[in-house]
């Protein structure tokens, strides 16, 4: 592969069915931060958006404003009517390439010809078919986000059902998708190990980069707990567990304790939750993190890296979570944050942080130190990825 271009001239085309704007979900934030790291490393980043439906006009406007002439989308007057909502195939059952819509064929052929990218990075293994539009001289990378094999069955085992198709593949389909790439990004180490067993392609861990706030700026309210989540049935399932099994134990000891819930998760919550304030989508989370005493994440089921937990640590907020809520961050357990899987113990740890300012300050400082090193590893991982093969 040619290495005549300088790094600044090399083009990275990121193809995604998920928008980068507005930043109202963990996967959107993950993709945006990944692109920003690649850009800071000196590459010319182009973002190609393959919408799953035609209802995101506001997002398209915001993305055009941000990415300018490096934003590309199939949403235009000619093809708007050709892009349907994701089709349902059977009862939640879909084959790998059913997730890709051939309405995008011409659009991708044109991008391949006009941009001639050095690297194509695809968000999610579900869309690995797009690699067919790019030649062998292009480095092909999948950002997996999560393990998709048997995902629907895993969700249903916890009583979580979706009315629409759930991104889920068979083991053989996940292997097929990975083998279409030259390199695979795993978001945490245990997923890297899993993907490495499925393919002989290079697999690297690149976690989720988060902005940091120094702990000296914290002024947490001892009465306030915080939870932030996107519109997700998994998130609803988990926060309801906290409200039913843990929050009453905290309120029994600390009657003034309140829980603030931020994010689009509020759209799925009931209106009569006791001692809770539903803030809805909050564009700038800094203030509510700085003025909250403890961030809670009582996940009893989830997949992928815990974006909620790592975001809270980035704001140097004291965190109490479960082992499930610490997935991908195991090296920080009981140092950068506290973990408890028993409802009684979880409540006790929250109460300790709300009533012991010294303990809360120590945990906040450790969170800051942990994320500083974590972010360093994330940036190094992206740098190592592009160094794997001359582009």
The answer for 105, left when phi > 0, alpha when psi is -120 to 50, beta otherwise, is: alpha
Domain ranges across the chain: 7-206, 215-373
Exposed, middle or buried by CB within 10 Å (0-12, 13-18, 19+), for 358?
Answer: exposed
pLDDT at 81: 45
Can you give the pLDDT at residue 88? 46
CATH classification for the domain delimited by 7-206, as one of 3.90.1150.10, 3.40.50.2000, 3.40.50.1700, 3.50.50.60: 3.40.50.2000
Q: Can you give the pLDDT at residue 317?
A: 94
pLDDT of residue 391: 44
Return the pLDDT at 389: 53
Against a cut of 0.75, is the pTM above it? yes
Q: What is the pLDDT of residue 16?
A: 96
Residue with tokens 């980043």: 45
Query: Per the structure block, which two tokens stand in for 64?
Result: 């055009």
Angle at 132 (CA atoms; ends 166, 7), nearest 5 degrees? 100
Give the per-residue pLDDT at 388.
56
Give domain 215-373's CATH architecture. 3-Layer(aba) Sandwich (3.40)
pLDDT at 55 (0 to 100): 58
Q: Is the dihedral of CA 208, 210, 215, 221 positive or negative?
A: negative
The residues of the chain scoring below 70 in pLDDT are 1-8, 53-57, 75-93, 162-164, 217-220, 271-274, 388-391
C-alpha to C-alpha distance for 214 and 296, rounded to whole angstroms: 20
Answer whether 7-206 and 215-373 agree in fold. yes
Structure tokens at 131: 């690699």
The predicted-structure confidence for 259-298, as pLDDT tens digits, reads as follows: 999 988 888 887 656 688 888 888 888 889 988 999 999 9
Say what the pLDDT of residue 271 is. Answer: 64
> Would you state the pLDDT for residue 167?
84
- pLDDT score recorded for residue 145: 92
């Amino acid at each position: 592969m040619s290495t005549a271009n300088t790094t600044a001239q090399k083009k990275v085309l990121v193809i995604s069915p998920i928008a980068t704007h507005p930043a109202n979900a963990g996967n959107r934030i993950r993709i945006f931060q990944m692109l920003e790291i690649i850009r800071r490393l000196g590459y010319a980043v182009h973002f190609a958006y393959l919408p799953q439906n035609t209802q995101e006009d506001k997002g398209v406007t915001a993305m055009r404003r941000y990415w300018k002439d490096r934003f590309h989308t199939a949403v235009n007057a000619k093809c708007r009517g050709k892009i349907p909502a994701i089709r349902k195939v059977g009862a939640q059952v879909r084959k790998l390439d059913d997730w890709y819509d051939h309405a995008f064929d011409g659009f991708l052929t044109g991008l391949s010809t006009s941009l001639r990218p050095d690297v194509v990075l695809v968000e999610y293994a579900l869309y690995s078919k797009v690699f067919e539009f790019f030649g062998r001289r292009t480095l092909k990378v999948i950002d997996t986000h999560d393990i998709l094999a048997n995902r629907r069955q895993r969700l249903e085992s916890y009583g979580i059902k979706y009315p629409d198709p759930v991104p889920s593949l068979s083991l053989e389909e996940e292997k097929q998708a990975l083998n279409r790439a030259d390199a695979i990004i795993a978001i945490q180490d245990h997923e890297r190990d899993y993907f490495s067993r499925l393919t002989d392609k290079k697999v690297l861990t690149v976690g989720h980069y988060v902005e940091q706030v120094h702990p000296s700026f914290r002024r947490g309210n001892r009465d306030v707990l915080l939870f932030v989540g996107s519109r997700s049935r998994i998130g609803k399932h988990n926060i309801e567990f906290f409200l039913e099994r843990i929050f009453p134990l905290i309120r029994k000891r600390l009657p003034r304790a309140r829980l603030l819930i931020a994010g689009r998760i509020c759209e799925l919550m009931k209106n009569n939750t006791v001692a809770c304030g539903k803030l809805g989508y909050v564009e700038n989370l800094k203030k509510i993190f700085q003025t909250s005493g403890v961030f809670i994440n009582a996940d009893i089921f989830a997949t992928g890296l815990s974006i909620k937990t790592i975001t809270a640590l980035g704001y140097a907020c004291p965190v109490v979570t479960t082992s499930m809520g610490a997935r991908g961050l195991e090296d920080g357990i009981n140092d950068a944050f506290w973990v408890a899987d028993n409802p009684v113990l979880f409540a006790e740890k929250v109460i300790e942080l709300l009533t012991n300012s010294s303990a809360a300050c120590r945990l906040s400082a450790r969170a800051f130190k942990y994320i500083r090193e974590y972010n360093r590893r994330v940036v190094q991982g992206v740098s190592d990825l592009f160094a794997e093969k001359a582009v």
